[in-house]
Structure 1
């Protein structure tokens, strides 16, 4: 139980911390994008009613995700109660424009297969000296279940996500932090226009800068 709670607290702290060093994460006159979709995927805001579906989605790939994300999450001891608390935190963050959590739905099967997180740049990133926090409006991270990755939906997700960032969000530069163990995400970033700008050897993270060039 202690290790499960520790993992949950790490995830919640990553998603809750708001940095004063970062570029504007959100301004009152900006409009939060509602959703985006492709033939295979739908990305829409997390709702309270999604709680159980979300839990069963990530727990179905628990060991696989735990080994790749580097978040000490999801723990094999994660519970519905912990998941409910996490969902409530995400919803509160969205209401306050502190962070945004979107679920990823496989449209063919109408199943939750992942989550995308948009959060302020964590203050410790800049304090480490590895990156310059004020250059970025937000951090963007995601996860997909093992079956979804095996079906190559991570390629569809990344194409949909980056197009949405360019055309739907007000930011000019975002940070993609990714664990060195997250091979699917690393491959996507290495083969994109994202630029590797640093590595934290203590946390085994890589940092990619992504410029949202617009016509």
Structure 2
């Protein structure tokens, strides 16, 4: 269980170890379930995406590690294991704890995933990231990457965040950030 940043604020010296910064959404604001920008669309991930998600992850293991970074995935995923993850993502979205989207493109279909997490969940919370309000990461499949859709997703994110998604200070935590 993570402690929240708000629980540990004690003057100038803060121990941020193990803390998370709660996602703060303005009263009345809604995180959309569907998004579209240029060549990239996104919809809230659900169990209906199971087969495409498993195939996409398993075809992209090395590319995910290279572009997104982090410790996931540790290896190929199974239908059973990924089903549990998708149910968890659905519940997190419903409860405004985190937001996971499937990325699609008219020419390529399923192209990857987008994650909006509280700071401190994916990477440790630091003084550098305290002023950000959401940790944003994404990955795409190898054919989508070759088609320029990794960079197109970053462009879409910069359009969505603040305009459609109610966050204003994103921290893009991917290892590879397009120029």
Please tell me the TM-score bracket, short chain as reference. Answer: 0.7 to 0.9
Task: Give distance in 2, aligned partners of 1:132 and 1:143.
Answer: 21
Task: Give distance in 1, aligned partners of 2:2 and 2:110.
Answer: 26
Deviation, 1:160, is 1.3
Work out which structure has the larger RCO, using CA pairs closer than 8 Å and 6 or more positions apart in sequence.
2
Q: Greater helix percent: which structure?
A: 1
Structure 1's 24 and 68: CA in aligned 2 closer, same or farther, altered over 3 A? closer
Task: Give distance in 2, aligned partners of 1:144 and 1:177.
Answer: 15
Aligned position for 1:121: 119
Task: Give distance in 1, aligned partners of 2:2 and 2:47.
Answer: 22
Task: Give distance in 2, aligned partners of 1:98 and 1:121.
Answer: 11
Structure 1's 148 and 17: CA in aligned 2 closer, same or farther, altered over 3 A? farther
Q: State whether residues 62 and 74 of structure 1, in contact with CA within 8 Å, keep that contact through their aligned partners in structure 2.
A: yes
Aligned position for 1:112: 110
Q: State whether residues 19 and 120 of structure 1, in contact with CA within 8 Å, keep that contact through their aligned partners in structure 2.
A: no
TM value normalised by structure 2: 0.79
TM value normalised by structure 1: 0.67
Aligned position for 2:5: 20
Deviation, 1:163, is 0.5
Task: Give distance in 2, aligned partners of 1:173 and 1:86.
Answer: 27
**Number of residue pairs the alignment of both structures matches:** 164
> For residues 135-214 of structure 1, what are the structure 2 equivalents within 5 Å?
135-179=131-175, 185-186=176-177, 188=178, 191=179
Task: Give distance in 1, aligned partners of 2:154 and 2:3.
Answer: 25
Could you list the structure 1 runs, at least 4 aligned residues long, displaced by more than 4 angstroms after superposition.
none
Aligned position for 2:34: 35
CA RMSD of aligned residues (A): 2.4
Q: State whether residues 58 and 76 of structure 2, in contact with CA within 8 Å, keep that contact through their aligned partners in structure 1.
A: no
Ranges in structure 2 where 5+ consecutive residues have no aligned partner:
7-20
Task: Give distance in 2, aligned partners of 1:41 and 1:33.
Answer: 15
Q: State whether residues 18 and 98 of structure 1, in contact with CA within 8 Å, keep that contact through their aligned partners in structure 2.
A: no
Deviation, 1:157, is 1.2
Name the stretch that deviates more: 70-79 or 55-64.
70-79
